Amino acid sequence: MRMVDLIHKKRSGEVLSEQEITYIVSGYTRGDIPDYQMSALLMAIFFNGMTSEEISALTLAMAGSGEMIDLSEIAGIKVDKHSTGGVGDKISLIVGPIVASLGIPVAKMSGRGLGHTGGTVDKLESIPGFQIELTKEAFIHAVNTNKIAIVGQSGNLAPADKKMYALRDVTATVDSIPLIASSIMSKKIASGADAIVLDVKIGSGAFMKTVDDARALARTMVDIGTQLKRNTIAMITDMEQPLGREIGNANEIRESIEVLRGTGDKELTEVAISVAAYMSLLGKVFESFEEAQVAVRDIVLNGKALETFKRFIASQGGDPNVVDQPELLPTAAYQFEVLAEKDGFINQINAEQIGIAAMLLGAGRAKKEDQIDYAVGLTLNRKIGDEVQIGESICTIHANQQDVKAVESMIQGAYRIENSKPAPIQLIYDVIV
C-alpha cells in the first residue's frame, strides 16, 4: 500500500476501505507518513467528503491509536455527555450529579478550556483541594461508590486525533463535518462509554453557526455511534448568548450549585434538565423522555443531586463545604459594573466576545500553556429579552486588576440594545436519534 495511491483515490472521489484508513492513521501516528502527504489527504477529504462507513472506520482507527479505556469493572450502563463547546457552558457540572443520583454511573474524562470556551477540568480545579488526576483504580472505585467521577483526559487518548487536529488547524481543513465528527467521537469511543449524549451548540459562541450545519454534524455523530454500537443521541442547543449568567471558573461552580439547589437561572436549568433526562433515558432507567424529565426535576427539588455533588467533591479531595459556603471559592479582589448606554431591550449578546473578555481577565487561555485565574470572570445582569434603562448594570466584571478598560469596551460591543423586544430565544432546536 502506498500513501500516494490513497491520496489519488480520495482525490478522485472514490471510497477508502477500512484497511486503507487504518493504514493511514497508524502510519501517520507512528511518523511513517509525512505531514505533506497527510495534508493532501485531509484536503481531498475536505472537498470530496466521506461515506458513513469511511467516517466510522476513521473514528475507530483514531480511537485505537492510543489507550482504550476499559470501564467493564463499573456496574451499569456508562453514559457519557459531550458538548461541542461554548461560553458559560457548565452543563457537565450540573448533569453529572443529577444522573449519578438516579443510579447511572458517570465516568467522565473532561478537557481544559482554550480560547473563548471554558473547560470542565478548570472549573472543578477552582474548588480548593479538588484532584483532577486519579489512578485508574481510584477512578473506578469513585464511580462504583458515588456513581460519579470526573478526571482530566489521558494524554494518550486518541493521539492520532491530536496530531491530525494540529495539522488541520494549519491547513484550513478544520471545518469538515466528517473530520469534526470523527475527531469528537474517537475520544468518546476511546473513553469507554456505552452510550453518549451529544450537545451540539449553535450561534455566535459556538463552532457551528447555523442549524443546518449543526444538524449535519449531529446526524453524522449519531450515525457513527450507531455503526460502532454505542447508543447516541444529539441535541442541538443555543449558544447565541452565553449559557446561564456566570462566566469564569469559580463563578460557574457557584452557578452550578444554584441550579442543583433549584434556584438557578431558568434557561440554564431547562437545558440541564433536558440533557440529564436524555442521559437517564440512554441509561435505561426510564421508558420515556417525559418520565425521565419529571424524575430529574424531582432529584433537584428533593436535594439528592446537591448531596451527590458534595460527595463527589469530597471523594476527589475537594472541600464539600463550598456547596453551603460558596464564599470559600476563590473570589476576585475588584468588581466593576458595565452600564447600559441607552434605554431599551437587550437584542443580542455576542457569546464569543463575552468569552474573549473573560479570557482577557485571566479566566481562560489564549495558548495551551497559559496559567488561569480561577477567581475572575463575568456576571451577566441582563440577558437577551431583558429591558434595561440607561445607567443600569448589564454586566459585573470580577477582576484581580484595576485596569479593565479593554474588557469593558469588549462587553459593551457584545451587547446590542434596541427599542423593540426580540422574539424569545429557542433553547433546544432539535434532537437527533
Q: Which three cell numbers stand for residue 224?
A: 457513527
Of the listed 81, 108, 147, 168, which one is catalytic? Answer: 168
Q: Note if 382 is an active site residue.
A: no
d(CA 187, CA 298): 32
Residue 346 parent element (H or E) = strand 344-349
Of the listed 161, 194, 213, 373, which one is catalytic? Answer: 161
* Cα 184 to the center of its chain, rounded Å: 11
Q: Note if 168 is an active site residue.
A: yes
Question: Which sign does the torsion angle of CA 355, 360, 362, 364 carry?
Answer: positive
Of the candidates 173, 137, 133, 184, the one whose C-alpha atom is nearest the C-alpha of residue 155 is: 133
16, 6 contact by CB (below 8 A)? yes
Q: Note if 230 is an active site residue.
A: no
Of the listed 83, 183, 256, 315, which one is catalytic? Answer: 183
Of the candidates 73, 85, 137, 146, the one whose C-alpha atom is nearest the C-alpha of residue 110 is: 85
d(CA 106, CA 76): 10
The angle, 0 to 180 degrees and rounded to 10, between the axes of the packed helices 35-48 and 177-190 is 110
Q: Note if 187 is an active site residue.
A: yes
Of the listed 187, 311, 365, 398, which one is catalytic? Answer: 187
One-character DSSP codes across 167-223: HHHTTT-S--HHHHHHHHHHHHHHTT-SEEEEEEEESTTSSB-SHHHHHHHHHHHHH
Q: Note if 183 is an active site residue.
A: yes
- Which residues does 221 contact at the CB level (< 8 Å), separation at least 6? 181, 184, 185, 198, 200, 232, 234
d(CA 403, CA 423): 36
Of the listed 81, 82, 90, 116, which one is catalytic? Answer: 82
Of the candidates 276, 284, 238, 260, the one whose C-alpha atom is nearest the C-alpha of residue 428 is: 238
Q: At residue 180, what are phi and psi to the nearest 5 degrees? A: -65, -50
Which amino acids are annotated catalytic? Answer: 82, 161, 168, 183, 187
